[in-house]
Amino acid sequence: MISPIVPIDFVNSLESPPHLLDVRWYLDQRDGHQAYCEAHIPGAKFVDLDTVLASQPSPAKGRHPLPTPQVFADGLAKLGVGDHDLVVAYDDLGGMVAGRLVWMLRSIGLPAALIDGGLSAWEGELESGDPNPPQPVKRTVFDWPANVVATADEVASHIEAGGVVIDARAAERYRGDTEPVDPRAGHIPGAINIGFADNLDNAGRFVSPNDLKARFSTVADAADPIMYCGSGVSACHNILAMEAAGMGRPRLFVGSWSQWSSDPDRAVATGDG
């Protein structure tokens, strides 16, 4: 399968153009579709995180539960993306959001990659406006494999058994110094912190595979690691980084901190450990 992270030169070198999908979304409530309409890579189509890549939020499921397989298939079918068409996705946040789409497709065995550097990697002129919808296609509904996700109970059992659970949020949120969106501050007791933002260099590009491997060296020998973040989106950045480093693909706790912190029966830890 194609590497999970590819340079823009790779995209430009393909004989058959891939489906370019723009997955912009912002925690501060800015409008990702508006940003797309203002400027996007030529030929790219917009994908809405909240309606195509997630289902309705709830305290019991978190802020970005996975959509049903039918909803996900229908959303891509409307964009003209067939079953085995190559998808190359981007955003303007270093892949923090677009990584969710790439992880979803790769999890069901389909080809997808993240553009390293995102929108800023494109050196040509950008398009504006909202193009007419493409011709829809038929698309098979692929179920979410059980071995790519983890429930809250599975996370708790995994930690109790000595397993590795990784929190991909910024260190200040992991420690509980601040919590901008979720009910309680802190982290899952027993989880370690490897923040996704440090997968990138100062230019917003992924560091080398060797450097990524070094970042995750403390969990290199972990059996079946589980990754989480605030709502199951930015954790995918870490998952793709580990895969790019040749370290396998951790499971995703989709509900993540937004689900865990909403359950008063779940313990919360603060500080560095």
| Distance, CA of 211 to CA of 153 (rounded, Å) | 33
Q: Residue 195: exposed, middle, or buried by beta-carbon count in 10 A (0-12, 13-18, 19+)?
A: buried
Q: What backbone torsions phi and psi does residue 118 show, to the nearest 5 degrees?
A: 60, -145
- 229 classed as catalytic: yes
DSSP type of residue 73:
H
* From 20, 41, 108, 229, the catalytic residue: 229
Beta bridge partners of 226: 165, 251
d(CA 73, CA 104): 11
The label of the residue with tokens 């493409």 reads 134
Active-site residue set: 229
